[in-house]
Amino acid sequence: MLKIFDFFAHSKSESVWMAHFCTGCCSLEMAAAMGPRYDWERYGYLPTPSPRQADVLVITGLITKKVLPALLRTYQQMPEPKYVLALGACSFDGGPYNDSLAVVKNPTEILPADVFVAGCPPTPEAIISGLEQIKQKIKDGIPSAASEGGLYKEMKF
């Protein structure tokens, strides 16, 4: 019985699709990771236009106040199990926009991320290695961080 569950987890982890929702500058390096030099499709990642088919939501750096409800809605529309990858300094504490008061400075407190990739913007290699960590998390059967808690559960959006 255990073996079958392992098989499911393995299958899930090897084709991680990402919801195509870009809100910040880091999406440019994500585009580079999709490109021919880094080519993340080798590892089974694929951007999908609809959140309904997605397994992972990428917080591409900056989240402004206006885009936060849209981000949470996108997350809500994704089927379980779903994971969150946070890119860049902005998703941690606002990064270079820390003094700007139009930017949400704690997006990962609102929507907890499973893996946080540092950099401004993180390099494509770092993004792929972050996704590999998510892959490992799925294989190990660890529940996603956002399912354990997060401010978004108390929020309207």
Q: Amino acid identity of 58?
A: V
Closest separation between CB of residue 89 and other proteins, Å? 10
Closest separation between CB of residue 128 and other proteins, Å? 15
* Nearest C-alpha neighbor of 152 from the set 116, 109, 115, 90: 109
Closest separation between CB of residue 4 and other proteins, Å? 35
Give the one residue of 6, 8, 11, 69 binding other proteins; rule: CB under 8 A: 69
DSSP-derived letter for residue 113 is: -
Contact (Cβ atoms closer than 8 angstroms) between residue 92 and residue 86: yes
Is 37 a binding residue for other proteins by CB under 8 A? The answer is yes
Residue 84: both structure tokens together: 């969150």
Contact (Cβ atoms closer than 8 angstroms) between residue 134 and residue 115: yes
Q: Binding segment for other proteins among 10-18, 64-72, 79-87, 132-140 (CB under 8 A)?
A: 64-72
Is 100 a binding residue for other proteins by CB under 8 A? The answer is yes
